[in-house]
Amino acid sequence: MSEEQKYPSYDEQTKNFLRSVTDVIQGMMRGQEVYASRELREKRQEICNGCDKLDVAQGRCTACGCFLKGKIPFAASECPEMKWGMDNLAIEEEVLRRVQK
């Protein structure tokens, strides 16, 4: 990681991690698919590989501090830089859930 690349504070990294875990658990509790399709995982990885926020040596995103191997596979995960989002099916289910409240 170059000197210019810095991770968010530990507090912010913890919040980001807990937000991701919460999204995955909520999806599981609603019966949503936990893992993104293989094609979507590959596309996410491709996007991250070309991103200037990638710390290649650690396999982490410097925008959120997450380890990509632990973030990319989950359907409910999304990029903090808005370069990729939740699995479309997960998004549709989440929208429907919110509308039904």
pLDDT tens per residue across all 101 residues of the chain? 444 458 999 999 999 999 889 988 888 888 878 899 899 999 999 999 999 999 999 999 999 999 999 999 999 899 999 999 888 766 666 667 778 86
Phi, psi angles (nearest 5°) of residue 84: -155, 150
DSSP three-state, residue 55: strand
Integer-rounded Cα radius of gyration of the chain: 14
Structural domain spans, the chain: 10-100
